[in-house]
Amino acid sequence: MIYKADINLREKLSSMFQKFNCTLVRSYLQGHMGTAWVDDLENPTVAQVMVGFFVFYAGDINSEAAEELLYNLPEHSLVIVKTDEWKKYIETIHKGRIDKFQRFEFKKNPEHLDRNHLQKFLLALPQGYELKRIDASLAEEPSLHEVSEDFTSQFDSTEDYLNRGIGFCILSHGQVVCGASSYSIYDQGLEIEIGTHPDHRRKGLATIVASALILECLDRGIYPSWDAANSESVALAEKLGYIMEEPYDTYYINYKK
């Protein structure tokens, strides 16, 4: 049997997930967004944290609830764990419906992000494009969500996003073609979501819009965390000033209940 955790369990889950240097886990543990499931509401021994389609497991893999938690997934999930035991268990339980790949973690040091370096990118906006902060009208603009649904999807509403999130986008002929926004938030910062319409790639737009968001975060005294899913994202992060920490295993699981 598994149970949805409440706010009173966050302190106990913090010790269980202490090996995760991940802002998404912090987002849940600090009470900003996401959900968690456990084997016991008083003294949990194994737990699952979910923020969007990212899923994290920690605790006693021998718990009777561990297998049930591994089946407690949305249809499409990115699953991250920290031990070989958990990896082997995932590969056994979800054999035939997983794709194992690497994501890339970056050092979380604001000193690596040089304002002058970032501001130079803002000057390179091509003619015919317009850089704007995501406001109430843009947050509901269909073309924004066509570029990426995840610019605002973790927030409860447009109003919630405007109160707690930050984002910038680039428009062409009134349509959003590129954006950088807060996928999630935590006490000290946010996790960046970035996307560009296929017809407008290779023009430096992602560099520009990411620079705008990073500069805004630095001005507010919060950290713009970057986690890369592929080599293109790694290259962009390093261009902006981020320094690689390490690659880590991730499981894409296509699970239909």
pLDDT tens, 61-89?
Answer: 999 999 999 999 988 999 999 999 999 99
Structural tokens at position 10: 């966050």
pLDDT tens, 164-188?
Answer: 999 999 999 999 999 999 999 999 9
Question: End of a domain among 105, 140, 162?
Answer: 105
46, 115: one domain: no
pLDDT tens, 219-230?
Answer: 999 999 999 999
pLDDT, position 257 = 67
What letter would DSSP give residue 125?
P
Domain membership of residue 187 as a residue range = 108-241
Mean per-residue pLDDT, 138-145: 97
**Residue 17 or 257, more confident:** 17
Residue 192 pLDDT > 80, yes or no?
A: yes
Question: End of a domain among 64, 79, 105?
Answer: 105
- CATH number, domain with residue 181: 3.40.630.30
pLDDT, position 103 = 97
127, 225: one domain: yes
Residue 256 pLDDT > 80, yes or no?
A: no
Strands (E), the chain: 3-4, 35-38, 46-51, 54-59, 76-80, 98-106, 129-133, 167-172, 175-186, 189-196, 223-225, 227-228, 244-254
